[in-house]
Structure 1
Amino acid sequence: MYIHLGGEKIIRTSQVVAIFDISIESSSKLSRQFVAHARKNRDVETIGEEDPKSIVVTEERVYYSPISTSTLKKRAHYLVDL
């Protein structure tokens, strides 16, 4: 199954490791370091031109999504329940 992250980006649900609210970036030193490391390796992708609302971590990339964390989680759980 797949999950739509916004814009034209769709990924396999099996690749999703975690979905975080964007606020974790400012409240956690560890998450800032994680994202900085991903940026250094060019493994970060910002989806669309809207302000990001969530961070989606997959096995290979980190995505900044304009879709809220709660909406993404609902989409992921809906697909898992099928």
Structure 2
Amino acid sequence: MFIHLGGEKIIRTSELVGIFDLSIEKTSKVTKQFTSRAGEEARVEYIGEEECKSLVVTLDKVYYSPISSATLKKRAHHLYVNG
């Protein structure tokens, strides 16, 4: 199964580690360190031109998505329940 993250980006649900509200990056030192390290390793991808609302962590990359974490979680849950 797949989940649409916004723009033209689609990932396999099997690669999904977590979906987080972007505010976590501002409030969590550990999350900020994690995303900084991913950026240094060129494993960060910004999706589209719109304001980022969520952080999607996969096995290989970190995506900044313009779709809210609540919407992405609903999509992932829908695929899990119906898949």
Deviation, structure 1 residue 81: 0.5
Mapped to 2, the partners of 1:39 and 1:57 lie a distance apart of: 13
Give structure 1 regions of 4+ aligned residues with deviation exceeding 2 angstroms: none
TM-score normalised per structure 2: 0.98
Aligned residues with identical type, % of pairs: 62
Q: Could you say what the CA RMSD is over the residues aligned between the two structures, in angstroms?
A: 0.3
Counting only pairs closer than 5 Å after superposition, residues 36-75 of structure 1 correspond to structure 2 as 36-75=36-75
TM-score normalised per structure 1: 0.99
Aligned residues: 82
Partner of 1:49, secondary structure, is: coil
**Is there any run of 5+ residues in structure 2 with no aligned partner, and where?**
none
Deviations 1:1-51 (A, max 9, x none): 000000000000111000000000100000000000000000000000001
Partner of 1:81: 81
Mapped to 2, the partners of 1:41 and 1:79 lie a distance apart of: 30
